[in-house]
Structure 1
Amino acid sequence: MIHPNPDQALSKCIVYFHDGNSRTFYSFDQKHKRSKPNQALGIRRLEKMLLQHFKGTWETAIIYENKINGKELAKYKNGIRIS
């Protein structure tokens, strides 16, 4: 499995799990090696990860721009997008 590079990712997702743990995931914004980064693609992939791969294991997830003090792009609570 290819892991996204945190230095190049345009978005990040902080996930708070039911067991009390939290974890940060970074978006994978390119279709292939030489394509331009696409933030919308990265956000869709993060949403797919949340709603399919980790389904039922997390309580809250927040997607931010991957910058210092980056703005909030989306927020999920118990599998439902609330903003």
Structure 2
Amino acid sequence: MISPNLPSISLCKCIVYFHDGNSRTFYSLDKTHKRAKPNQALGIRRLEKMLNVRFKGLWETAIIYENQPNGKEIAKYNNGIRLF
């Protein structure tokens, strides 16, 4: 079950801009089970998999940030290609 307070406990967030003009924010799932320590690398891999499998061909730009008030940019994608 996914936690209802996911935006407050996630280590990363991904803002996705779709071809139709919409945008959505997704939060990372950083744990393998309830009592596990959060793992940022796992959360980033899961966000990348979501972009490349679930939303393949539907989005134009995606940016992964640290989930903090002024979090730094971790990765940026444009049309399925990672820019950095």
TM range (shorter): over 0.9
Structure 2 match to 1:16: 17
1:3 Cα offset (Å): 5.8
Paired letter, 1:47: E
Question: What is the RMSD of the two structures over their aligned residues, measured on CA atoms?
Answer: 1.2
Identity of counterpart residues, as a percentage? 76
Q: Which structure has the highest helix share of the two?
A: 2
Structure 1: runs of 5 or more not aligned: none
Indicate the SS of the match to 2:9: coil
What is the TM-score of this pair, normalised by structure 1?
0.96
Structure 1 residues 1-83: aligned runs within 5 Å: 2=2, 5-83=6-84
| Structure 2: distance between partners of 1:2 and 1:68 | 23
1:2 Cα offset (Å): 3.0
1:27 Cα offset (Å): 0.1
| Structure 1: distance between partners of 2:12 and 2:3 | 14
What is the TM-score of this pair, normalised by structure 2?
0.95
Paired letter, 1:2: I
- The CA deviation string for residues 35-54 of structure 1, in whole angstroms up to 9 with x for no partner, is 00000000000000000000
- The CA deviation string for residues 13-38 of structure 1, in whole angstroms up to 9 with x for no partner, is 00000000000000000000000000
Paired letter, 1:62: I
